């Protein structure tokens, strides 16, 4: 496992982390707890030291599972844990008319931090993130002052924001003013839009980038077929129509050249994200030991060939490939 710095925080993270949404047991279909525990153990075995979870993942279940395994392994305070504060009003893509006080009042941030600390069984959280954002909140700083108090109290080490799927630059004002230590954003071969302005700004200001949805919610594993059926409870099963699956397959066909030389599509997708120097860690979702092995083994010190990176960026620039859905 290779490691990188999380911006200028001094926190060292595995360049591929453990995305812990699915093990919360919601939105991705039925999840076996034994699989979740095995996945966490395998991740630790492979050198992963960065776990990204959220209070909203199974109402804390993901956090509690992480605590259980880390305590069992005796490494509870030796890994890096990022978690997130859910919006108090439950609105995940807030319209610009929504006051920030409805989503992230200072008292709510402190309360959620305490809940996550109890779930995780720790005295501090390495990175506390707001789980959604809105560009209309650019000049609002009550949330930031609440985070600073938590930092002064030793309850968190770093401050972050998870930005929306379609507005990658919505937190740029806070990046510019160095209020945040990390930004979590959708970033993958089929959605390179964050690279346009956010990544260069983050590099300039020393803000770490966490690439989420690096496998395009499964499309970049190459496992989708036109007959793919998603189980009940999996959010992908609720998308209207079937055309989007076929369109994703067609796009994946255009990038199959990245598997030349025997590289798996999954590894190629993860290595693409790591090719950008702004990225501190890539956080694919992991729900069993097999996925842990497959995803984490992509960190092998062998970067994607520069010519492949350039070709993928050109395909995106020419709109030959491009994101069709988000999560």
Taking the CB of residue 118, how many other CB atoms lie within 10 A of it? 13
Structure confidence at residue 318 (pLDDT): 94
Residue 279 Cα to chain centre, angstroms? 11
Can you list the domains of the chain with their CATH numbers? 3-317 (3.20.20.100)
3-state helix, strand, coil in the chain (%, to 5): 40, 15, 45
The predicted-structure confidence for 155-170, as pLDDT tens digits, reads as follows 999 999 999 877 778 8
The predicted-structure confidence for 46-67, as pLDDT tens digits, reads as follows 999 999 999 999 999 999 999 9
Structure confidence at residue 171 (pLDDT): 85
Structure confidence at residue 49 (pLDDT): 98
From the list 283, 318, 307, 249, the residue with the least C-alpha distance to 43 is: 283
Active site residues: 57
Torsion angle of C-alpha atoms 23, 218, 298, 281, degrees rounded to 10: -70
Structure confidence at residue 16 (pLDDT): 98
Taking the CB of residue 158, how many other CB atoms lie within 10 A of it? 23
DSSP string spanning 226-264?
Answer: TT--PPTTBGGGGSSSSHHHHHHHHHHHHTGGGGTTS--
Structure confidence at residue 294 (pLDDT): 96
Structure confidence at residue 242 (pLDDT): 56
Structure confidence at residue 240 (pLDDT): 55
- End-to-end distance of the chain based on CA atoms, in angstroms? 27
Structure confidence at residue 243 (pLDDT): 73
Distance CA 75, CA 82 (A): 15
Burial of 152 (0-12, 13-18, 19+ CB in 10 A): exposed
Structure confidence at residue 327 (pLDDT): 44
34 HSE (CA, 13 A, CB side): 0
Positions in the chain whose pLDDT score sits under 50: 326-327
């Amino acid at each position: 496992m290779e490691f990188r710095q999380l911006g200028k925080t001094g926190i060292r993270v595995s360049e591929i982390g453990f995305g812990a949404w699915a093990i919360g047991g919601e939105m991705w279909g039925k999840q076996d707890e034994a699989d979740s525990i095995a996945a966490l153990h395998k991740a630790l075995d492979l050198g992963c030291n960065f776990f990204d979870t959220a209070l909203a993942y199974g109402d804390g279940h993901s956090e509690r599972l992480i605590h259980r395994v880390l305590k069992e392994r005796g490494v509870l305070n030796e890994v890096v844990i990022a978690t997130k504060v859910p919006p108090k009003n439950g609105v995940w893509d807030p319209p610009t008319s929504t006051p920030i006080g409805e989503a992230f009042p200072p008292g709510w941030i402190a309360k959620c931090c305490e809940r996550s600390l109890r779930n995780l069984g720790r005295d501090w959280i390495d990175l506390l993130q707001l789980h959604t954002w809105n560009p209309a909140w650019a000049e609002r700083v009550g949330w930031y002052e609440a985070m600073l108090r938590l930092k002064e109290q030793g309850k968190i080490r770093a401050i972050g924001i998870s930005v929306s799927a379609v507005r990658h630059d919505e937190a740029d004002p806070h990046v510019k003013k160095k209020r945040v230590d990390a930004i979590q954003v959708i970033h993958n071969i089929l959605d390179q839009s964050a690279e346009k302005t956010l990544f260069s700004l983050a590099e300039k200001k020393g803000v770490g980038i966490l690439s989420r949805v690096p496998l395009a919610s499964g499309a970049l594993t190459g496992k989708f077929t036109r007959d793919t059926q998603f189980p009940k409870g999996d959010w992908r099963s609720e998308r209207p129509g079937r055309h989007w699956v076929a369109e994703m397959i067609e796009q994946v066909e255009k990038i199959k050249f990245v598997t030349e030389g025997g590289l798996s599509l999954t590894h190629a997708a993860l290595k693409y994200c790591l090719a950008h120097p702004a990225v501190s860690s890539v956080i694919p979702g992991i729900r069993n030991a097999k996925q842990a092995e497959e995803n984490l083994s992509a960190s092998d010190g062998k970067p994607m060939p520069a010519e492949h990176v350039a070709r993928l960026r050109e395909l995106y620039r020419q709109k030959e490939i491009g994101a069709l859905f988000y999560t």
